Structure 1
């Protein structure tokens, strides 16, 4: 299961919507928690139509400030929104492949310290009410936990830091630190004026961390906002669901593929039995021949894809380090 949290810094512009849609599709996400959409529910409905297969719900912004959303892929996830207030959305999710259920909260920390405390207290109340369900809290907390989560600017024990430092242990949730960086926000300045902080995070139940599940977080180098998006990856056990065969569109580039398909279809007429059994055997025969032909013509494209992804990951690391000043 892959969940992304991202303060997009406004989702009104079409270019920003296109970038978010590309992020949804390209990175195989199942849920995305969006903060600071800066639009109302009607704009959210239009956004869903643009994304087509995705479903979700939004909390209206106050004018052009704030705004929250949870978007999910119904192919992998059932999710129902239970409560919405100005600074968070709470829903109950059910992962279809693993049959795992959980409570999900999308948080957008307000700028005023007093309002932050109210949000943390409300969140704690919801968590106590929903026990013993597994809990995942993600979003832009708009505060750091300690001085290590900030570089540049004044170093002081702010009230927001102390309040968040009290909320996290009281929540009995585990803070999942990104494995490829320390900061998720920058003020986009250079030199001595540059400030980088860890404002975005995921908190998950200790029951998830203490189980046999693998949980990790990282930082994506999308540059369209002053916040980097952070994905949470939970390797949930599947219910023995077999992977499906997929016809690769690149195969059409080879002129011999049509002739091969015709020949394999003729050669597969050897099978006997009921009509459904005969048809299934012929399809399997063609599928196996396609796999062998693919290796001989294109070699192993999945190994090459993995190598390219590793190279992109190294480039992403350089982008994150250069952007955030993380040494």
Structure 2
């Protein structure tokens, strides 16, 4: 089972929807928890449609509020799991309400319990006291460390003003951690939000059984190009006179080629992802996106969008439309004849 959590900081931006869709395709999660979406239910259904997300009869929502969604997930051939998507209150004086809400949920939990989301609080081994530490200990939860990156939030500032923190995380009932020996948690880097997404895979480290060589399990792929056609032609010409023999030869040649092609593509994707992470870490991308947003925001004359969301596409459209509206392409003379613009 895979659970993905992301504080998307507003899902109305087309770029954010596009990034969410790419993330879902790449990771194929079973459960998705999004917080701070800043849109109503009707608009969110459109986002779900574009990202090909749908409701599942394996998930039963128990309770919900502006800070949480508590649910029971039914698993095949296993006992159900309790999952609580959580968003901690950003205001320190209201954060205790968030912890009390978790305590109330915890009183009704009898299943294996996982909490995931943006806690808006720091939990560090060096901290021996504090409200967050106290509620984690009180509920007997274990903090699940991520396997790749550590920080999940950055304030997108330069120099000494730069701050990175681990605000997004998964917690699991401490007594149940040992029951998931193959569990894996990762940070998924994002560019449209100051929060990275996190994903938990209960069987992420489990080796996949392969009864056949993947090079033999080939099928038609949209990525086939001229090179594939050449391989098919050569294998067909060199094969035996028997049709089945020719098909077998084509299968062997094409399967090996496709396997090699896939490995090369994955290597290239890994290199590109590493470069993207370097750009994001350097804050160059975040700073440029913020500057671009301010550029178009100033020209759009729209002030109602909150600072921090990158609605660049919206601002660009508004500014472009206003420029078109203010432009006078041609004029009519006294006889109502259009005059050519000089």
TM-score (norm: length of structure 2): 0.67
Residue 224 (str. 1) matches residue 192 (str. 2): yes
Alignment partners' CA distance in 2, 1:304 and 1:234? 28
Residue 103 (str. 1) matches residue 82 (str. 2): yes
Alignment partners' CA distance in 1, 2:208 and 2:159? 52
Question: Which residue number in structure 2 is paired with residue 267 of structure 1?
Answer: 243
Question: Which residue number in structure 1 is paired with residue 25 of structure 2?
Answer: 25
SS in 2 for 1:301: helix
Residue 175 (str. 1) matches residue 148 (str. 2): no
Spell out the pairing of 1:160-171 with structure 2 (5 A cutoff): 162-171=130-139
Residues 114 and 170 of structure 2 are in contact (CA less than 8 Å); yes or no, is this contact kept in structure 1? yes
Residue from 105, 111, 122 that aligns with 1:144? 122
Residues 221 and 319 of structure 1 are in contact (CA less than 8 Å); yes or no, is this contact kept in structure 2? no
Q: Report which stretch shifted further, 19-28 or 212-221.
A: 212-221
Assess, with a 3 A threshold, how the Cα gap between structure 1 residues 299 and 227 changes in structure 2: closer, same or farther: closer
Alignment partners' CA distance in 2, 1:20 and 1:318? 20
Q: Report which stretch shifted further, 226-235 or 119-128.
A: 119-128
Alignment partners' CA distance in 1, 2:250 and 2:120? 52
Cα distance, 1:291 vs. partner? 4.4
Question: Which residue number in structure 1 is paired with residue 183 of structure 2?
Answer: 215
TM-score (norm: length of structure 1): 0.70
Residue 189 (str. 1) matches residue 157 (str. 2): yes
Question: Which residue number in structure 1 is paired with residue 315 of structure 2?
Answer: none
Assess, with a 3 A threshold, how the Cα gap between structure 1 residues 139 and 210 changes in structure 2: closer, same or farther: same
Which protein is bigger by CA-based radius of gyration? 2
Question: Which residue number in structure 2 is paired with residue 274 of structure 1?
Answer: none
Alignment partners' CA distance in 2, 1:29 and 1:314? 22
SS in 2 for 1:213: coil
Deviations 1:79-106 (A, max 9, x none): 222221111001111345x756311111
Alignment partners' CA distance in 1, 2:166 and 2:64? 25
Cα distance, 1:192 vs. partner? 2.0
Alignment partners' CA distance in 1, 2:80 and 2:151? 30
Q: Give the count of matched residue pairs.
A: 275
Residues 182 and 203 of structure 2 are in contact (CA less than 8 Å); yes or no, is this contact kept in structure 1? yes
Residues 251 and 257 of structure 1 are in contact (CA less than 8 Å); yes or no, is this contact kept in structure 2? no
Residue from 257, 266, 282 that aligns with 1:322? 282
Alignment partners' CA distance in 2, 1:242 and 1:114? 57
SS in 1 for 2:74: strand
Alignment partners' CA distance in 2, 1:223 and 1:148? 30
RMSD: 3.7
Deviations 1:283-308 (A, max 9, x none): xx96x655412245456234334433
Question: Which residue number in structure 2 is paired with residue 247 of structure 1?
Answer: 220
Q: Report which stretch shifted further, 212-221 or 245-254.
A: 245-254
Residues 3 and 32 of structure 2 are in contact (CA less than 8 Å); yes or no, is this contact kept in structure 1? yes
Gaps of 5+ in 2: 285-342
Alignment partners' CA distance in 2, 1:195 and 1:51? 32
Question: Which residue number in structure 1 is paired with residue 264 of structure 2?
Answer: 304
Question: Which residue number in structure 1 is paired with residue 54 of structure 2?
Answer: 55
